[in-house]
Structure 1
Amino acid sequence: MYIELEHISKYFGTFKASDDVSFGIEKGKLVGLLGPSGSGKTTILRMLAGLEKQNEGDVIIDGKNVNSLTPDQRKIGFVFQSYALFPYMTVYDNIAYGLKVQKRDKSFIKNRVHELLDLVGLPGVEKRYPDQLSGGQRQRIALARALAPQPEVLLLDEPFAAIDAKVRKELRTWLRETIDKVGITSIFVTHDQDEAIEIADEIIITNKGRVEQVGNPVEIYENPKTPFVAQFIGQSAVIKDFGKLKGFEKENDRQYGVIRPEFVEISDNTDQTGNHKNATDSAYEDGIIEEVLFRGNTYEIKVRIGDITVTGKTSISAGKRTRGEHIKVLIKQLYIIEGEHTQIVKNKAFDDSQIYYI
Structure 2
Amino acid sequence: MGIQEAWFVVIAVLFLGYFVLEGFDFGVGMLFPVLGRTDTRRRVLLNTIGPVWDGNEVWLITAGGALFAAFPEWYATMFAGFYLPLLLILVALILRVCAIEWRGKIDDPTWRRRCDLGIMIGSWVPAIVWGVAFANLVRGVAIDADKQMTSSLFDLFGPYALLGGMTFALAFALHGAVFIALKTSGEVHADAMKVAQRLTLPTLAVIGVFVIWTQTAYGKTWTWALVAAVLAALLGVIATIRANREGWAFTFNAIVILGFIGLLFASLFPNVMPSTTAAEYGLTIYNASSSPYTLKVMSWAAAFSAPVVLLYQGWTYWVFRQRISTEQIPPSIGLKLGSGK
TM-score > 0.5 by shorter chain: no
Q: Tell me which interval the TM-score lies in, with the shorter structure as reference length.
A: under 0.3
Q: TM-score, normalised by structure 2?
A: 0.24
Q: Which has the larger radius of gyration?
A: 1
Query: 1 or 2, which has the higher strand percentage?
Result: 1
Q: TM-score, normalised by structure 1?
A: 0.23
